Amino acid sequence: MDSSLVSTAAGLLGAIIGGLTSFMTSWVTQNVQARNQRLATESARRQDLYGAFMEELATLYAAALRAEAMNYGDLVKVFALNGRITLMASAPVIDAAERAMKFVIDLYLGPPRSPQEMRKMMDQSSADAIGDFARACRAEMQAMGLV
């Protein structure tokens, strides 16, 4: 075999391997960047939705403790946010959202609370419906690698 043919083949093979390596490196890098961008977007979207739901629940919770008349407009917002959560969340998050909504509505239906009763409720884990929801959201996001 001619030595010039061997050196040409070796050079050509080296160029092909170098080109493929460069292509694969670029492809992997772009896929990792795209995945990280998707995760960041999904994390922000969930944080916004879950945060809005908790804010609305907290507003209703405070109003229920003061025994104000139920503001149906705010209740509609909570139901709408809960519907959005149902579209994208895991079963534990959906269940926690439903329990939190029922808890707040039950507060409205109950008697007015004195400041002492409100303080006593702060020590009851069963009265931390919003916290339970937040913990379920965090567990979901950790399982998905979003936090």
Torsion sign, CA atoms 68, 73, 76, 80: negative
Note whether residue 15 is domain-resident. Answer: no
3-state SS, one letter per residue, for 43-105:
HHHHHHHHHHHHHHHHHHHHHHHCCCCCCHHHHHHHHHHHHHHHHHCCHHHHHHHHHHHHHHH
Note whether residue 29 is domain-resident. Answer: no
Task: Note down pLDDT in tens along the chain; length 147 residues.
Answer: 677 888 888 888 888 888 888 888 888 888 888 888 888 888 899 999 999 999 999 988 888 887 667 767 778 899 999 999 999 999 999 999 999 999 988 888 877 778 788 888 878 877 788 899 999 999 999 998 877
Contact 81, 52 (CB under 8 A): yes
d(CA 92, CA 98): 10
Note whether residue 11 is domain-resident. Answer: no
Note whether residue 116 is domain-resident. Answer: yes
The domain in which residue 110 lies consists of 42-143
H/E segment holding residue 37: helix 3-65
Q: What angle do CA 98, 104, 106 make, to 5 degrees?
A: 100
Question: Residue 94's pLDDT is what?
Answer: 96
The number of beta carbons lying within 10 Å of the beta carbon of residue 80 is: 13
Note whether residue 36 is domain-resident. Answer: no
Q: How many domains does the chain have?
A: 1
